[in-house]
Structures are given as structure tokens and as C-alpha cells.
Chain A
Amino acid sequence: MNRPWLLWIPLAVVAFIGGLAMYGLAVPKDEQVHSAMIGQKLPAFSLPAATAGVEGLASGDMADGKPRLLNIFASWCLPCKAEAPYLEALKKAGIEIDAIAIRDRPEDVAAFLNEFGNPFRRIGSDSEMAVQLKLGSSGVPETYVIGGDGTILYQHIGDIRAEHVPMLIEKVNAAK
């Protein structure tokens, strides 16, 4: 053969595929599906109050020039109970939080707030998950960072843990 380097191509292919496979094994798998709405304006909605004593939530309420968090939760959801103290911590840090309760009953929401405290400014009741779907949210709990103009800036999937609190504070402050 007059071009001996050609013979090394198979080895190069093996090395390349091996490298890819090693990368695939090494990098933790991110199975989450992020919302396609990130970077876009909130869809228009207007939800009734989820329980007595806390106002309902409309998309216009969140486009008042002030960035804040939007928490998607439900009283029947266990991780939502687990993240309650960190929502409280975020509120103490001066972050405003609105919420949407998914497929919930007023008395259950009231009991939930009684037990875990109420970090929320407003809570809309999304009994048919219609707004949740519009937001591109695939489960509870999820937390969005909403800009002052009502733009969806960031989506956090799953419960908020201690290590996420500073990150969320920073994201809200960066939007100011």
C-alpha cells in the first residue's frame, strides 16, 4: 500500500468512538426536559385565589417592574413540603414569591400554609393544570425566575435545596 497512514484510520475511529463513550459515561445524565418558554413573556392567564386570605394570581401581577420567583407547588406533593423552609429563607432574603397551586383544594392549601408557613405574596389555583402546561412545567415543584417585565428567565426543576438558595437570590437580583 502506498499510503500507509490510511491503515491507521480504523484505529482513529475506535479512539474517537471510545472517547465519546467515555464522555457519555462520565457526564452525569440530565434527563430533565426544560421549558421551551424560557426567554419568553409569561403566557396570559388569570387564576382565582387558591385559598381564603391570599389573593389569586394573574400574569399581569408579575409584570410590575419587579423581578421575583414563581413557585409551582401542591399541598399533596411531598418535595413541596421539603422545600418550604428554603422558600421561607428566600422570602427572608427579600425575594418576593408568587405561587400556583396545582390540582388543589382550598382547605388543603390552607392546611399546608398553616403547617409550613406562607412565603407567598399571591397564590393562584390551577385546578386543571392549564397554566402549568402553558408554562412548560412538567411537574411539581418547579420554580421560575420572572423578570420585572414578565419574562421567564430561568426554570428550576425539582425541590429547592439549601445549596440552591444563594443561586436563586443571585438570579433574581441580577434581573433588577
Chain B
Amino acid sequence: MMAEAGLAALWLAAAMALLQLVGGMTLLRGGAGQLVPLIKPAAYVQGALCAFAFLALMWLFYVTDLSVLLVASNSHIDKPLIFKLAGTWGNHEGSMLLWVSVLSVSGAAIALLEKRIESKTLNATLAVQAFIALGFFAFLLFASNPFERLVPAPVEGNGLNPLLQDVGLAFHPPTLYFGYVGLSIAFSFAVGALLTNQVGPAFARAMRPWVLAAWIFLTIGITAGSYWAYYELGWGGWWFWDPVENASLLPWLAATALLHSVSVLATRNALRAWTIMLALVAFAMSMAGTFLVRSGILTSVHAFAVDPERGAFILALMLIYTSLAFVIFALRIGSVKQGEPFQLISREGGIVANNIFLSVILAVVLIGTLYPLAAEAMGDKISVGPPYFNKATVPIAVLLMLALLIGPMLRWRRDDLKRLKYWLIGGAAILLCSGIAVWKFAPDVGLFPLLGIALSLALAVAAWLPLRGRKLLRTPLPIFGMVIAHFGIAVSVFGMAAESGFSSETLTALAPGESAEIAGWQVKLDDVNPVVGDNWVAIEGELQAVKNGNSFVLRPQSRQFFKPEMQTSEAALLTRWNGQLYAVIAQPDQEGDGRWQVRLWWKPFVPFIWYGGLLIAVGGIIALLGRMFRRAKKPAKSKWQTS
């Protein structure tokens, strides 16, 4: 019964979306047609129906209703409750339902809360939103119905892919989805404003919280995904330039650029066409990301999510939305008036530099990700890996960091570098001294780790400078947010540079009782024991790591699986504040002398990469809270801003 109710709700929600779309079209034809007043109520109803449909599916997973095909094939009566519930979105149909539900509920929220933009623009935005939703409704109802029944119902259910039974992984995909959906809302705002010719500060202020929220989710999703790959895949790397990793990085880069340019539009009424362009690109990138993950046209570690037919559907949706949007862009952007002028040395100028560098990185990553596909079309088979991506992106990232050292301190409209001369000299001194110190300490460290450490130290100071001369209690929260996010970048870059420049590695053969040394750690192999698991047997080393009188035990394993026959290394990690000790044990040494091969890494400051990522997200959250508070406190302000 619940399944049928959910399905009916989906159909009705699709009808509501259609009503919104038709209403929006009559609106744009100039007529104040009778359907126009229905757009907002339709958005409320659509949001409520979608929320109901999603909760209905969640309920079916909660009670494990095995007469529903999706539940039967993705759940099991004996599964822990948390994974039962996570099963709701841990599969294709459910995740698409989550997508469209978030989209619809956000549409309702816009209709309910957004008072700053003209009602015509708001209605057009809701119509675009409904147009996007309709594509996903069609996808759900015709190609992947989550409520399909299974006759006869099985007794137990299949269970979720065990690889996905991990709390982190249960929440990683929905986090990215929230980010993608948030960008779709920015897209709707942009197209709505373009259609009604209302590209201005009011539109930017309305769009900004959605961009910010989307960006926060993407940041958290990428940081968590990077850590998961680091400890779970056991290769000791934190970023592989895998196509699916790139698929989440591309929208993040676009969203980061958009986040900055939308501030310029909101504050200074400049960068109008560019902001619209970025909003379209950001959503196109998030659709491309979904497509790359789901279609499997590029070989990746995420191959478990692959289905080519559904990929074709998502591709079709992506092409329809983005090409229509770019057609509207090309036709209408000419009517968008030139924004306010500004000089090169100004806050606007700094943000333009940020946007240019981010866009170049985006283009470089996009080209690298798609190149194998293009090469294959020309009969060549290649894969593009870290050597290309590192070489091509890191120099631009260095320029981006340099811009970040100065940009936030500049004044709007026009500024003079002379005003900042003390900081410019101080910053250059930090760069130079830390560069020389690193070079003295480790002459063969390589240019980029050296630059990375120098830049991150300078940025760690520079990030706080915008607070200088302000009364802290009266400083707006978004300023704090910016400062913390920029500091997070310094922390993260420091971790990346230290890890890539100063990791030490040693491979030795130890008999029980013998020790090895790495980066000041005394690591002794105490014992080697066999252990057994469900479908594997393993040898487990007991390593005692001692440094400065502190002693820790690490237990790396070498596992032998039976079905399929496979050998894996389960690394053991010891996290200290200033780095990680990473231990792997392999097979007995060849000579049969009772020794075991042990591989040890000391990765200095590697956790900083993820601490930094979290700080960046925290900065975003503080800025978002600040925007919401400010709005709640001063509702009167919006009246004179909308004109």
C-alpha cells in the first residue's frame, strides 16, 4: 500500500512540475495568464509530495518490505537499522528519488522564503526548477521506478554490496548529491534572471546562500572521499586524479569561482554575464559528474555504480538542460547591461584573478578527464594520470595562492598597493625565509613542495589579516567564514606539500624481535600471528613503534581471500598530530630465514590535508549562518533592495 501511495505521489508531483512549467511559459509570453498565480502553490505541493514519496521509500526500507523489488534487491532482514535506512539512497533508484526530492523541497523553500527578487523572476526560476525536475521525474517513472513490486516476495533479501556497508560511504554519495542539487538551484536562478532580464545584486543575494550551501556539501564530500580512499584502498595516496574524483572536483572548482563572483555581483553589481556563465557551467559540471559516475564510460575505481543505459538517460538530460541554457545565454546576455566598472588593483580585480585561475584549472582537469575518450574516438588507447594533472594544475594553483595572499585585503572598486606595502614586504619576507629554510633543511625536496610550504605559511598569516582593524564582536560572520576558509586552504596545502615532499619510506625484512628505524621511530616486529576472517585468512604482524618514550602497537595484515582468490594488504595507521605512520606487512622473505617483509612510511602532516578541508567547510557554514542571521534580523532591508 505504501509503495503505491509513494508512486502516486511521484506522479502527482510530476503533474505539479508540469503545471509550474506551463505557468512559467505563459508568464514569459508576456501575459499575466491565469496559471501564473498557481506557480508558487504548485511548488509547495510538489515539494510536499516528493518529501512524502521519499519518506515512503524510507519506510519500506525500515520495515524491510520485501515485496518491493528495490528493497528485496538492496536490503536484508538482518541488516543493522542504520544500513537499512542508508539502503534508501544506496542504490540507483533511491538516489535519483533523493535527488529529485531535494530539488523539489528546495523549490518549495525558494517559493516560501525568497522575498528579495521580483515575483516575475521568482516564478521564472521556479519554472526552470520544475523543468529540471520533470526530466528526473520522467527518468524515475519510466526508467527506474523505485516502488516496483516483486511477485512473489522473497524471504530474506539480497543485501547491500558489502563494500558499501561502511558508515562513511553511506553518507558520502548523498553529501555530493546535495551539492549537485544546490548547484541546480543556482542554475535555475541564473536562467530565471536571464529570462526576465533581472541580472543584478538582488538576484545575486537570492542565489548566494544556495551556492554557498552547495559548495559546503561538495567540500565535505570531497574531503571525506579523499580520506576514505586513503585509508580504505590502502595505497597510501590521498588523491589519484581518478575520473570519478575529478567528477566531484570539477563542480567544486566551478562552485568556488561562482561563490566569489556572486559576491562581486551582490556587493558591487559587477561581473554580471560572467556570474551567469559560471552558474550554468557549475550545474553542467555537476550533471557531467553524475553522468561520469553512473555511465562508466571511463574506467575508474567506482565501477560498482555503473549502468550504461541509465548513463544515456542522464546524458540526454544533461545535454537538454545545458544546451538550452547556453542558447538562452547566447540570445539574452546581450541585453544584460554592463556592470559597474572597477580598476585592476581592487577587490574585484583579485576575485577576477581567482576566477581566471580556477577556470583554467577546471579546463585543465576537464580536458585531462575527457582526453582518453577523445583519444579512443581517434583509435588510440591511453589513460591520463597524475603526471599530467600535477604538472598542469600545480603551477596555476601556485598563482592562485599568490593572488589569495593579497586579494582579500584589497578595497572594493579601486585600491593602491602602496597602502599594503607593509604586508607586501612582510609576506615576501615570510615566503623567502620559509623557502630558504626548507631548502637548507632539505635541498633536494623539489620546487613545488618547497613553494607549497612557503605559500601555505604566508597564507596562514595572510588569511587572518582581513580582521585587522575590525572590532571582532561587530565583524559580520561571513568575514569570519572567509578568514577560516582561507586559513583552511593554508592548512590543507601545507599537508599536501609536506606529504609529497617529505614522506619517508623504508622496506626491510624483519624477524620477530628485530627493529627498523624510520623518521625517528623505532619499529620492532614483536610477533607474527595467523588470523582468520569470514572469507579470508591472514598473517598479522604486531609492530611496536616507539618515539620519544611513547610506545604504540600497529597490526598490519596480509590477507588471502578465497572467492575470488585475491591477496590484499590491510595497512595499519598510527595518527599523530604531526603525521602518520603507515605500516604494511607482506609475505615471508624469500630465503626462508624467518623474516617478514615490512614496509613503513612516515607521512609528515598528512592529516592536515583533511583538517584543512574540514576548516574550509566550517568557514562556509559560518558564512552561511551569517547570511541567514542577517536576513532574519533585517527583513525591512529587502524592500528597498529589490527594485
Check if B315 sits within 8 Å of A21, measured CB to CB. yes
Check if B377 sits within 8 Å of A14, measured CB to CB. no
Check if A10 sits within 8 Å of B326, measured CB to CB. yes
Q: Does B174 contact A (CB under 8 A)?
A: no
Q: Does A22 contact B (CB under 8 A)?
A: yes
Interface string of A23-48 (1 = CB under 8 A from B): 11101001100000000000000000
Q: Does A167 contact B (CB under 8 A)?
A: no
Specify which of B323, B334, B373, B381 is in contact with A21 (CB 8 Å cutoff).
Answer: B373
Cα distance A23–B333 in the bound complex, in angstroms: 32
**B376: min CB distance to chain A, Å:** 7
Q: Which residues of A lie under 8 Å from residue B370 when comparing CB positions?
A: 17, 20
Smallest Cβ-Cβ distance to B320: which chain A residue: A18
Specify which of A1, A4, A23 is in contact with B373 (CB 8 Å cutoff).
Answer: A23
Cα distance A4–B299 in the bound complex, in angstroms: 39
Q: Does B56 contact A (CB under 8 A)?
A: no
Cα distance A98–B279 in the bound complex, in angstroms: 63
Q: Which residues of B lie under 8 Å from residue A31 when comparing CB positions?
A: 299
Q: Which of B354-379 contact A (CB under 8 A)?
A: 370, 373-374, 376-377
Check if A10 sits within 8 Å of B295, measured CB to CB. no
Check if A14 sits within 8 Å of B334, measured CB to CB. no
Q: Does B503 contact A (CB under 8 A)?
A: no
Q: Does A11 contact B (CB under 8 A)?
A: yes
Q: Does A175 contact B (CB under 8 A)?
A: no
Smallest Cβ-Cβ distance to A15: which chain B residue: B323
Cα distance A21–B284 in the bound complex, in angstroms: 14
Cα distance A27–B322 in the bound complex, in angstroms: 24
Cα distance A117–B407 in the bound complex, in angstroms: 79
Specify which of B312, B326, B376 is in contact with A11 (CB 8 Å cutoff).
Answer: B326
**B471: min CB distance to chain A, Å:** 44
Specify which of B298, B333, B376 is in contact with A7 (CB 8 Å cutoff).
Answer: B333
Q: Which residues of B lie under 8 Å from residue A4 when comparing CB positions?
A: 330, 334
- Residues of A in contact (CB 8 Å), total 19
Specify which of A15, A25, A27 is in contact with B312 (CB 8 Å cutoff).
Answer: A25
Q: Which residues of A lie under 8 Å from residue B374 when comparing CB positions?
A: 20
* Chain B interface main SS type: helix
Check if B376 sits within 8 Å of A24, measured CB to CB. yes
Interface string of B324-358 (1 = CB under 8 A from A): 00110110011000000000000000000000000
Check if A18 sits within 8 Å of B377, measured CB to CB. no
Cα distance A11–B330 in the bound complex, in angstroms: 8
Specify which of B280, B297, B308, B381 is in contact with A10 (CB 8 Å cutoff).
Answer: B280
Q: Does B277 contact A (CB under 8 A)?
A: yes
Which of B295, B299, B334, B373 has the largest number of chain A CB atoms within 10 A?
Answer: B373
Smallest Cβ-Cβ distance to B297: which chain A residue: A24
Check if B311 sits within 8 Å of A14, measured CB to CB. no
Cα distance A118–B284 in the bound complex, in angstroms: 59
Q: Does B319 contact A (CB under 8 A)?
A: yes
Q: Which of B283-319 contact A (CB under 8 A)?
A: 284, 288, 291, 295, 297-299, 308, 311-312, 315, 318-319
Smallest Cβ-Cβ distance to A24: which chain B residue: B297
**B47: min CB distance to chain A, Å:** 30
Check if B373 sits within 8 Å of A20, measured CB to CB. yes
Specify which of B288, B311, B376 is in contact with A25 (CB 8 Å cutoff).
Answer: B311
Smallest Cβ-Cβ distance to A10: which chain B residue: B326
Cα distance A23–B329 in the bound complex, in angstroms: 27
Check if A24 sits within 8 Å of B327, measured CB to CB. no
Smallest Cβ-Cβ distance to A20: which chain B residue: B373
Specify which of A14, A22, A23 is in contact with B326 (CB 8 Å cutoff).
Answer: A14
Q: Which residues of A lie under 8 Å from residue B308 when comparing CB positions?
A: 25
Check if B295 sits within 8 Å of A25, measured CB to CB. yes
Q: Which residues of B lie under 8 Å from residue A10 when comparing CB positions?
A: 277, 280-281, 326, 329-330
Cα distance A15–B377 in the bound complex, in angstroms: 15
Q: Which residues of A lie under 8 Å from residue B298 when comparing CB positions?
A: 24
Check if B319 sits within 8 Å of A18, measured CB to CB. yes
**A127: min CB distance to chain B, Å:** 19
Cα distance A70–B381 in the bound complex, in angstroms: 26
Cα distance A128–B593 in the bound complex, in angstroms: 24
CB contact under 8 A between A21 and B291, given known A1-B334, A4-B334, A27-B376? yes
Cα distance A10–B376 in the bound complex, in angstroms: 23
**A30: min CB distance to chain B, Å:** 8
Q: Which residues of A lie under 8 Å from residue B288 when comparing CB positions?
A: 17
Cα distance A98–B20 in the bound complex, in angstroms: 72
CB contact under 8 A between A7 and B311, given known A17-B370, A21-B291? no
Interface string of A124-167 (1 = CB under 8 A from B): 00000000000000000000000000000000000000000000
Cα distance A76–B288 in the bound complex, in angstroms: 45
**B373: min CB distance to chain A, Å:** 5
Check if B319 sits within 8 Å of A14, measured CB to CB. yes
CB contact under 8 A between A24 and B373, given known A11-B326, A15-B323, A17-B288? yes
CB contact under 8 A between A25 and B297, given known A10-B280, A18-B315, A18-B319? yes
Cα distance A87–B329 in the bound complex, in angstroms: 62
**A57: min CB distance to chain B, Å:** 28
Q: Which residues of A lie under 8 Å from residue B299 when comparing CB positions?
A: 31
Check if B327 sits within 8 Å of A22, measured CB to CB. no
Q: Which residues of B lie under 8 Å from residue A23 when comparing CB positions?
A: 373, 377
Check if B297 sits within 8 Å of A14, measured CB to CB. no
Check if A14 sits within 8 Å of B323, measured CB to CB. yes
Smallest Cβ-Cβ distance to A33: which chain B residue: B381
**B378: min CB distance to chain A, Å:** 10
Cα distance A15–B381 in the bound complex, in angstroms: 23
Q: Which of B261-277 contact A (CB under 8 A)?
A: 277
Cα distance A24–B330 in the bound complex, in angstroms: 28
Q: Which residues of B lie under 8 Å from residue A15 when comparing CB positions?
A: 323
**B304: min CB distance to chain A, Å:** 16
**B258: min CB distance to chain A, Å:** 15
5 new A-B contacts, CB < 8 A, other than A14-B323, A18-B319, are A18-B315, A21-B373, A24-B373, A24-B377, A27-B377
Q: What would be 20 A-B contacts, judged by CB atoms less than 8 Å apart? A: A7-B329, A7-B330, A7-B333, A10-B280, A10-B326, A11-B326, A11-B330, A15-B323, A18-B315, A20-B370, A20-B373, A20-B377, A21-B373, A24-B295, A24-B297, A24-B298, A24-B373, A25-B308, A27-B376, A27-B377
B residues engaging A (CB < 8 A)? Answer: 277, 280-281, 284, 288, 291, 295, 297-299, 308, 311-312, 315, 318-319, 322-323, 326-327, 329-330, 333-334, 370, 373-374, 376-377, 381
